[in-house]
Structure 1
Amino acid sequence: MQVTGNTILITGGGSGIGRALAEAFHRRGNEVIIAGRREDVLRKVADANPGMKTAVLDVQDPQGIERFAARMAEAFPKLNVVVNNAGMMQVENWRTDQVDLSTAEATITTNLLAPIRLTAALLPQLKRQAKSTVFTVSSGLAFLTLAHTPTYSATKAAIHAFSDALRYQLRDTTVDVVEIAPPYVQTELMGEQQASDPQAMPLAAFIDEVMSILETQPNAREVLVKRVYPLRFAAEQGYEKYMEQFHAFNDHFGAGLGV
């Protein structure tokens, strides 16, 4: 995609990667709408970035997504980019005899069903544009599972598969599909401690590299910063080496998560 002159909707735009992407696109002259559940959080971001728009959206509400898409079509007829960024990530304990499925179900709704529903609802409008882009946000964990967050990892693997399938089905339309697969980044996705974890990639550095890829590789299908390569291409080592990396990776992060 071209990184200027677009009208861009970003879910989960009030914090973390969503906010940072919104501000990066805003600085490049795009009309940016950030969406999320809390108007007060969105408003603070917009106030810090004059001209940025806000829109309240609960991605766990299927009917709300349909109504939201209709409002977008009316309020922003030039909308040509959607960034499906909203997500949640929580540790799950499957060793207990009574597994609490509430986290798994909420994760599937937020990370997988919501982007599928929102993309479906916005596709008619996106197809009317001369050029449009659907961004999906997966994760390096789509390719090397973090066993302590099994449903999160599963939803991100599904998002990768969905992105490939959607890109193929829409290949003869004006809609591109671009997947962003972040590594472990300094955000508050798993709590405040992650935002300052020295093992995580600084958010500003991640965004700078993402924007550089988009600017220099306008036909990119996957946006991969170098920090995510060991995860993204783990399986290409072959099964045995993949499993060695899988166990070492999970032993390391499991200790850090206290599980």
Structure 2
Amino acid sequence: MKLSDNTIFITGGTSGIGRALAEAFHQRGNQVIIAGRRQALLDEVARANPGMDTVQLDINDPEQVRAVAAQVILRHPSLNVVINNAGIMPFDDAGAGSLNDEQAVGLVQTNLLGPVRVSAAFVEHLKAQPQAYIINNSSVLAYLPLAVTALYSATKAALHSYSLSQRFMLRDTSVRVLEVAPPWVDTDLIHKSGDARAMPLDDFIRETLEKLETATTEVLVDRVLPLRANQGANEHALIEQFNLSLIANPIPVA
């Protein structure tokens, strides 16, 4: 994927990886449109990045997704890249006898149905472009689940699976499907802490963009590669080791 002269729509573009990606693409001469739920944050990002466009969007509202997509396409007919980045990461307990059903439904809506809806709303337009991309932001937890965020990890595994099918179904079109699977990056998704186990955001963005130029399927920073390769009959040992290590040294939360 070329890193300049694109028109790029990014969900969840007001903080964390989404904002950092938006600003990196903006600085490389792309027209960037960020979407988010809170207008005040959209305005803040726009002020810091003159020329960047914004649109208010709740990806849990299917009618709003379709309306916003039509609006963005009308305003930016050269749109050729859609980045499904928006996500939430609440903690849960897969071994408990109680379930916060509202939280669980909201998580699946945002992390899985959100990208599905956004992709569907834009895909016919993307097919009409000479070269276009759908980029789905999953997680290393798609391959190595974090037990205290069991449902989050499951939604990211589902998004990985969906990306595989989406890539196949679009194989004979101009649309390529790429999947970014970040490691633990030091953002405010959980709690920005400076923890040495988390990859600094600037390092993650720099390496991701480097790999994005030549990627054809997945965009994985180097520290993710051994974990990506862990899947298979013997994957359980590393998953247990990983989760036990986090019990011994918990992730800091606000």
Superposed pair shares fold, TM > 0.5 = yes
CA deviations over 1:1-28 (Å, ceiling 9, x no partner)? 2111110001000000000100111111
1:210 to 203, 208, 212: 208
CA deviations over 1:173-193 (Å, ceiling 9, x no partner)? 011101001000000101243
**In the alignment, is the contact (CA less than 8 A) between 1:141 and 1:157 conserved in 2?**
yes
Q: Tell me how large the CA RMSD over aligned residues is.
A: 1.3
The offset of 1:103, in angstroms, is 2.0
**In the alignment, is the contact (CA less than 8 A) between 2:208 and 2:220 conserved in 1?**
yes
Aligned to 2:49: 49
Aligned to 2:242: 249
The offset of 1:207, in angstroms, is 0.3
Q: Tell me how far apart the structure 2 counterparts of residues 10 and 155 of structure 1 sit (CA, whole Å).
A: 19
1:232 to 221, 228, 232: 228
Q: Could you tell me the TM-score, scaled by structure 1's length?
A: 0.93
Q: Tell me how far apart the structure 1 counterparts of residues 247 and 70 of structure 2 sit (CA, whole Å).
A: 43
2:217 to 205, 218, 221: 221
State the percentage of identical aligned residues: 48
Q: Tell me how far apart the structure 1 counterparts of residues 251 and 46 of structure 2 sit (CA, whole Å).
A: 34
Q: Secondary structure at the match of 1:148?
A: helix
1:114-153 superposed matches below 5 A: 114-153=114-153
Letter in 1 for 2:238: Q
**In the alignment, is the contact (CA less than 8 A) between 2:126 and 2:175 conserved in 1?**
yes
Q: Secondary structure at the match of 2:189?
A: coil
Q: Tell me how far apart the structure 1 counterparts of residues 14 and 208 of structure 2 sit (CA, whole Å).
A: 19
**In the alignment, is the contact (CA less than 8 A) between 1:148 and 1:254 conserved in 2?**
no
**Structure with greater helix percent:** 1
Q: Secondary structure at the match of 1:183?
A: coil
Letter in 1 for 2:9: L
**In the alignment, is the contact (CA less than 8 A) between 1:136 and 1:163 conserved in 2?**
yes
Q: Could you tell me the TM-score, scaled by structure 2's length?
A: 0.95
Q: Tell me how far apart the structure 2 counterparts of residues 32 and 110 of structure 1 sit (CA, whole Å).
A: 22
Q: Tell me how far apart the structure 1 counterparts of residues 247 and 173 of structure 2 sit (CA, whole Å).
A: 44
CA deviations over 1:153-179 (Å, ceiling 9, x no partner)? 111111111111111111110111010
Q: Tell me how far apart the structure 2 counterparts of residues 99 and 158 of structure 1 sit (CA, whole Å).
A: 20
1:151-170 superposed matches below 5 A: 151-170=151-170
In structure 2, runs of 5+ residues without a counterpart are none
In structure 1, runs of 5+ residues without a counterpart are none
Aligned to 2:197: 199
Shift >4 Å, 4+ stretches: none
**In the alignment, is the contact (CA less than 8 A) between 2:94 and 2:147 conserved in 1?**
no
**In the alignment, is the contact (CA less than 8 A) between 1:89 and 1:107 conserved in 2?**
yes
